[in-house]
Amino acid sequence: MAIVTGAAKGMGKADALKLAGAGAKVVLCDIDLSGCQQVAEEIKNPSAGSGRARGESVALRCDISKKADIDAVVAEAIKKFGKIDILVNNAGIFPSEPFLQMSEQNFEKVIDINLKGSFLMAQACAKEMQKQKSGSIINIASIAAIKGFAGLSHYCASKGGMVAMTKVMAVELAPLGIRVNNIDPGAIDTPGTRVMDMKEQDRLALVAGVPMKRWGNAEEIANAVLFLASDESSYMTGSTMVVDGGWVAG
């Protein structure tokens, strides 16, 4: 059974569909409940030719910056499916704001959702995973953890913190049978990046320095998630998979 945060759209939706297609029962959580419900319907009734079998899921509203919401999601997941095998910490926000104009409130909001929320969800799920002495936690960070982007000091800080936290979690949770890994996506074409008020020529310019010369898609991140969630990655923990078309390497 898998919990996917930020599952209403974009990478979270792709991750949920990929895991469900591989046979996992999925708890979809997002602050956008109606979006999660639509994804749940796609899992229940996949489109013809999608190659996915019908799956089982539940959609729940969750603000991951609030511990009470997270505890409620984990309790409902255990009630409905009995255990938690996989967590995909995908939920996050990235509002752009220049460093010198950034307010304390906006900085705190990004940290609360992207970093604190991932910590709280991982902690709650790991407490359940240790009961069966197995589990895979996948934190979706960003190449912003290792590369500076103007206007995103709060976002870069949150994702850098997530990468560091992944390593500590991996060390502490390995004796409990729980693996923790991280994915650093590059420029991924999602509804979230589509609303960044960028003209098409600006979108092309953004990836001009990417060796593969294109934006990635959510399915390509979901493929990495499925690998890290599966026994195919059974000797991996504390690792970071960079999925960015070669942007960091270039």
Q: Which residues are tagged catalytic? A: 155
Structure tokens belonging to residue 136 = 């895979």
In 6-56, which ranges are E strands? 26-30
- Tell me the one-letter amino acid at 15: D
- Alpha carbon separation from 155 to 54, 81, 84, 168 (Å, rounded): 36, 34, 28, 20
| 3-class secondary structure, 183 | strand
Residue partners of 187: CB distance under 8 A and separation at least 6:
193, 206, 207, 210, 215, 216, 244, 245, 247
Q: Are 163 and 226 in contact (CB under 8 A)?
A: no
Q: What is the dihedral of CA 239, 240, 243, 248, to 10 degrees?
A: -130
| 3-class secondary structure, 184 | strand
Residue with tokens 């990235």: 94
Size of the chain, expressed as the number of residues it contains: 250
